[in-house]
Structure 1
Amino acid sequence: MSNLNDLSTLALPSGSVLGADETQTRLSLSLEGQPLITLRLKREPELQLQVEERFSRPAGQAFWAACYWLFARDPACQRLVWCLDEPPTEALLSGLLVATDIVGQYRCERTLFWQLPQPWLGTSITASYPQQRVISGGKRHPLRPVKPRGEVYRRFDARLGAWVSLRTLEIDNDLVRFNRWQNNPRVASFWQEEGSLEQHREYLSKLDADPHTLTLIGCFDDQPFAYFEAYWAKEDRIAPFYDTDDYDRGIHMLVGEENHRGPHKVASWLSALVHYLFLDDPRTQRVVAEPRADNAKMIGYMHNQCFHCEKEFDFPHKRAALMMLGRERFFDRCSLA
C-alpha cells in the first residue's frame, strides 16, 4: 500500500499525470509537466488556499486539480477554503465551490467533491434519463435506461497505489473466467452457482437481457479480479422485504482471484462500486445488499465501509442480512483517496 505522505504524483483516468510540490505553506501543481497553479496555504484553523499564480489552463480545471490533490493527500480533510479575488463562475455552477457569507471566500466540501461525476464516470446517460413509470413482472417502476457497454468507472486509488476500474461483462471474453470463479469452492459455498460453461453462458445471457441488472467486472490495474451484479431494487426479489425507493441499487459481489482478497482490497473495490452507483444516477439514495446472514466476514467488511444491517430476513434459499448504505452517509464519511 502507498504512503499518502510520500505522494508526488496522481494519475487521472484520462492518462494525464498531476504532479505536485507541496510544503507547509505552498503548493505548486503541474499537469503533464506543464505548470497549472501555485497556491499559498494557511493550515489553521482550517486549510485556506490563496492563488499565487495561475497559468494558461482554465481556472475550473486548476481549482479541481488542487481540490483533488489535497483531498487525496489527506483523506481526513473535510473542507478547503478558497480566498479568491474574482467569483469562480465555472466552479460555482458545477458545485465544486460554494460561496460563503464572507466576500471573496468560497468552500469546497469533500462530501460535494466526490459527488461530481467526472472524471471517474465513463460515458453515461443514466443521470439525465427521463422518468416514465412502467409495469413489468407485476411491479410498477421507472423505465430503466439502456445498459452501458465497456468501462463505466476508473479511479487511481492513491492509498492502494493501483487503478481500480469497473467494466461491463462481455460473455464471449469473460465466460471462462466467470466459470472458473463460480466453481471455486470458496465462492460456491455462498453463491451456489457452480456449473458448466453452457450453464453459465445461459445464466449470464439471461442477466444480459434483463434491464434491471448490470453485470460488471472489477479490475485492479486492468487485471480482472471480481464479478459484480448491480440491480435496481424496485424490480428485484428484495423489494417486498423493505420500503424500496424507485432508484435504490442493490449489489451482489464475488472476488474470484485469491491474490486480491483481504480488507485493504475490499475497502478499495467496495467503495469504488458504491461510488459508481451513486454517481451513475443522482436520484439513487441507497445502495443495498443481502449477503447470507452467516457470512460474517463480508458483513464485517461492509460495516467498515459504513453499511449498516437493517435486519435479517428469509429468502426462499437463504437467511439474509439486509445491508444498507445511504447516499448522505457515504459521502459524509467518504474516505476516497
Structure 2
Amino acid sequence: MSLFTSNDSAALAANHHHCRVPGVGDFSLRPLAVPGDMPLLHGWVTQDYARYWGMQQATLAEVDAAYRALQQGAHSACYLGLYHGEPAFLLECYDPAHDVLAGHYPVAAGDMGMHFLVAPPTRRVPGFTRAVMRVILDFLFRDPATRRVVVEPDVRNDKIHVINRHAGFVYQQEIALPHKRAHLACCTREQHQAALQTAWPVKETL
C-alpha cells in the first residue's frame, strides 16, 4: 500500500480505509474526487472557521486547480474522510522531502507530512476532532513505510496544538514558512500508540 498512488482502480481501492473509534463511531477515507468533491470542499475552505487553511477568498475554479495539482503530484495525495458515510474531513498528505518544509528541518526516511480540515459541524459530537486525528494517524501508519508524521500548524491555532499533543505529537521548534509562522511537530508510530494507551477514551471535547 502506498499513500501516493496512480489513479488506476486497483490503487484507488487499496487506499480506502475503514475505522471505528470507541465512543464516537464509524469513519472511512477514500481518495478525494476532482472535480466531483470540489463544490463541497469549496464550501468548507471559504468559511471563517477555516481561516488557517488560507483559501477563504478562493473561487471554485481555484480550489479545483489546487487539488487537481495535489492529486496528480507524485509526492502528495488527498483523501475525503467520512463519518457514518457522510463527508466529515479532508486529509492532505505529502512527502516533506519535496516540500518547502525540507528547508527547515532534517527530513528523515519515512517522514510523512500531513494537514487536515474538519467539515463545518452540523451537530456536536464529543471528542470528534480528536477521533478524526486518531483515524488519520491509523491510516497513515497503516503504510509500513511511514515512520513519523510531521505537521506545521500556524502558531496561532491554539485548538490544533491541543489536538496534536493529545495524539502524541512532540513539538520541536517554531519555523518561518513563506505563508505563516508555524510550530514544527512530529509523531512516531510508538509515540502515537503510547498516547492511545493514556489518553483514550476522551473525556475533554474539542
TM range (shorter): 0.7 to 0.9
Report the alpha carbon displacement of residue 334 of structure 1 after superposing the two structures with TM: 2.8
| Cα distance per residue 1:202-248 (max 9 Å; x no partner) | 11111121111110111110100111101112212111211111221
User: 2:70: which partner in 1?
Assistant: 207
Which residue type is aligned with residue 334 of structure 1?
Answer: L
Aligned positions of 1:95-106 closer than 5 A: none
More strand by share: 1
| Cα distance per residue 1:282-328 (max 9 Å; x no partner) | 13211011110111111111111111211111001110001211122
Q: Check whether the contact 2:168–2:194 (CA below 8 A) recurs between aligned residues.
A: no
Which among 21, 25, 38 is matched to residue 157 of structure 1?
Answer: 21
Bigger radius of gyration, 1 or 2? Answer: 1
User: 2:45: which partner in 1?
Assistant: 182
Output the CA distance in 1 between the equivalents of 2:124 and 2:184: 23
Task: Determine whether 1:252 maps to 2:115.
Answer: yes
Output the CA distance in 1 between the equivalents of 2:95 and 2:80: 18
Aligned positions of 1:31-42 closer than 5 A: none
Output the CA distance in 2 between the equivalents of 1:320 and 1:146: 31
Output the CA distance in 2 between the equivalents of 1:247 and 1:287: 8
Q: Check whether the contact 2:166–2:195 (CA below 8 A) recurs between aligned residues.
A: no
For residues 246 and 146 of structure 1, do their structure 2 counterparts lie closer, same or farther at Cα, with a shift above 3 Å needed? farther
Which among 242, 250, 259 is matched to residue 105 of structure 2?
Answer: 242
- How many aligned residue pairs are there? 194
TM-score by length of 2: 0.86
Structure with the bigger RCO (C-alpha within 8 Å, sep 6+) is 2
Q: Check whether the contact 2:93–2:115 (CA below 8 A) recurs between aligned residues.
A: yes
Report the alpha carbon displacement of residue 264 of structure 1 after superposing the two structures with TM: 0.4
Q: What secondary structure, in the 3-state scheme, does the structure 2 residue paired with 1:242 have?
A: coil
Aligned positions of 1:289-328 closer than 5 A: 289-328=151-190
For residues 186 and 249 of structure 1, do their structure 2 counterparts lie closer, same or farther at Cα, with a shift above 3 Å needed? same
User: 1:269: which partner in 2?
Assistant: 132
For residues 185 and 268 of structure 1, do their structure 2 counterparts lie closer, same or farther at Cα, with a shift above 3 Å needed? same
After the TM superposition, which of the residue ranges 175-184 and 191-200 deviates more from structure 2?
191-200
For residues 245 and 226 of structure 1, do their structure 2 counterparts lie closer, same or farther at Cα, with a shift above 3 Å needed? same
Which residue type is aligned with residue 199 of structure 1?
Answer: E
Runs of at least 5 residues in structure 1 that lack an aligned partner in the other structure = 1-123, 128-143
Aligned-pair Cα RMSD in Å: 2.1
Task: Determine whether 1:146 maps to 2:9.
Answer: no
Task: Determine whether 1:283 maps to 2:137.
Answer: no
Q: Alignment identity in percent? A: 24
Report the alpha carbon displacement of residue 260 of structure 1 after superposing the two structures with TM: 6.2
Runs of at least 5 residues in structure 2 that lack an aligned partner in the other structure = 202-206
Output the CA distance in 1 between the equivalents of 2:125 and 2:174: 25
Output the CA distance in 1 between the equivalents of 2:16 and 2:194: 24
Q: What secondary structure, in the 3-state scheme, does the structure 1 residue paired with 2:115 have?
A: strand
| Cα distance per residue 1:17-68 (max 9 Å; x no partner) | xxxxxxxxxxxxxxxxxxxxxxxxxxxxxxxxxxxxxxxxxxxxxxxxxxxx
User: 1:198: which partner in 2?
Assistant: 61
Report the alpha carbon displacement of residue 196 of structure 1 after superposing the two structures with TM: 1.3
